[in-house]
Structure 1
Amino acid sequence: MSYTESQLEEAVISVAGLTSYIQLLLEHDEVLRQVWVVGEVSSLSRHSKGLFLTLQDPETKAEIKCVVWNSQLSRLAQLPVQGEQIVVLGSIRLYPQRGQYQLTVWQALPAGEGLLALRLRQLRDRLEAEGLFDLERKRTLPAHPQAIAVVTSPTAAAWGDIQKTLKRRYPGLSVLFSPATVQGEPAPASIVKAIERVERDGRAEVLVLTRGGGAVEELACFNDERVVRAVAECSIPVITGIGHQRDETLTDLVADVCAHTPTAAAELVVPDLAVVYAEHRQRIETLQAVVQQQLDIAGDRYYSLSSRLGRLRLDREIQREIEFLNWKKQQLIQVTQQRSQKARQHCHLLAQKLASLDPHAVLKRGYAVVRQENGAIARSAAQLAPGQELLIQLSQGKIKVKIIENSQSEI
């Protein structure tokens, strides 16, 4: 194709003109005006005006020049480090003098695991600013709860550990189980529903949220904002037992008590009745020793005063000392009787409580425990069907029966 001289003059464009045209295309493109780019920092240099770096694609080795002006450096969430992978937000700009384009960076974030850590730190800072982790919000656990709720996976070892610990430390306790998925993407929503289920039930005095140990990513559901807020808004005290001693989640920080492990949570939620009884016996023995000591002191003083009266041989002095001694004697007897009565009442109350917690005592009163074939206690006729075999435990012995008719009417 040939051009005339006039056509050639019209078709020719200057270097500045071509550069300006390319600059207009790049800098006014909607995508390139605000674009996120991920890459590895292959080179990095400081300049009086800012920070210059090169982002490289590790696979294709494609590169793009970047600049962070000094005015923007303090606003970066992550300062670029050579050899590390980052995600940057910026816009494409053309440098006319060299005919080169570069990315003007506004923000830089860590990529991969670093990004997750940054998001977790930002969420923690935001929740902490709201006061969700303040000590003033923490509630004390009830000293002797009659019913507690446990939220965990029904297949987790943590559920078995908690059951064993509670049965050993506090027999007769009512344990309400609210199952939940505690790992993976559906876990946060499942945990929130399990907590809501406990609140709607209304019987539990304290809630135990627990899960056994695992990798950090397996505990991610306990750093989910939905779970943290559900625990913060729960109407009853919450104790967590999540992972191992080294693990700490945002749910642990917002809970009223953090025990770190499932077994430790079970040990904190109820006292050991055997220890409580032993401590009470020790208090009774201490009180008896103090009373006996006071009686011995009073007896010694009585004999001392009697000897003095015998030596003085003064009727008035004798009478005054006798009256004083009688008054002290009556006072000591009264105090001793009051303390003894209080100790007997306390011991009687504990004995009644222990008797009421004894499941064999309940059976002796004519009650029975009905279990299904899988060992679960039958609590409702709606759970049973004609022809199903049941095992009935009586005060003395067990019997196996088969259901002939099922009536679900309430008594």
Structure 2
Amino acid sequence: MLFQDSLGTPSAISVSALSLYLKELLETNDILQNIWVHGEVSNCKTYPSGHCYFTLKEGDAQLPCVFFKNARLRTSAPPLRDGMALAVNGRVSFYERDGKLQFYVDEVMSLGEGALFRKFERLKAQLEAEGLFDPARKRPLPVQPAIIGIVSSPQAAALRDMLRTLRNRYPLAQVIFAPSLVQGAEAPASIAAALDLLNEHGEADVIIVGRGGGSIEELWAFNEEIVARAIARSRIPVISGVGHETDFTIADFVADHRASTPTGAATAAVPDISDWQEDLAAKEQLLTTLMLDHIADLKDQMSYALRDLQRASPQNSIIQRRQQLDEYTDRLQNHMQHIISLRTEQLRGVSLQLHSLSPLLTIARGYAVVRKQDQTVVTNVHQVKAGEVLSIQVQDGHLSVEVRPS
């Protein structure tokens, strides 16, 4: 619509005025206010508020739809999900804030499953029958991978999220990036080629195939057979991290491990080094405690052993023996002194007795002592014979005499 002023010069209108015009134009069209539309559900999301937002698609055409909570409860509508074929009744209007046409749903009628969903189920059944989903063929993930392979789009925010997660959780790991398309007609072959390239390279310990959330059409590359078989023939364990938690693709079923998001895939691929640090700190504390306890026990044992050693030491026995020796020595000296004193007194008595009996006293009184050559005292004449020499002791000396016959 073009407005002109009084001079015939065109003048522009505001965005708000145009949005209001479009809204009124759509809402005054009786056909568009009560119409049934059919198509396949895609990008369906139900928020905590109870309102459901989805896109109704057919071929290349799509229609954004809003199914408010009160309308859902009033009509007892079944839960909506991607891949359902629906006929929806409602009205068309213009959402001014986002600048887009929207279909406000009042009632839904299920028409079964959509074409994409049926294609998904057929391939899923085929691959499951071939054993590609068998848990027995899935390999465990490495505990401490040194090299992580990533298949994703270089422009994807999911790639930045995965790299950041890997760097924060496990900076020791290296990353080999194999760029690929992640949506569109050429994406399946691109993803399969990137997987094969990482296997040919052979250095990765685990491979992450990931991209962020999107509609079923945007994630469809991961539902193609060529991608499923590339994952299945990979010699390296594969982690699938495609879309959001509620999104499931064929790649998820074939992969060795399915993560709900690309960030979850990076988390599953590597350990958390902070857990190691905490565990190491706890073990260090435990080891320190055990060492201190052990040292304390050794100190106690050493104290006990020292006391036992001191008790068993010959030094104490030597000190005791020395003391006993001193006591014995003192007692022996006293005993000897007593004996000496006693013997001295006895000797003095005997000496006095001998002195009293000494021949010298007899000699001093004028007597003499006659001895033979062998010092035998002669007390009678029968002890000697003629010619024998005798010694006579007088007070001042000795006299030698010869015995003559009488």
Normalising by the smaller structure, the TM-score range is 0.3 to 0.5
Tell me the TM-score normalised to structure 2 length. Answer: 0.45
Larger radius of gyration: 2
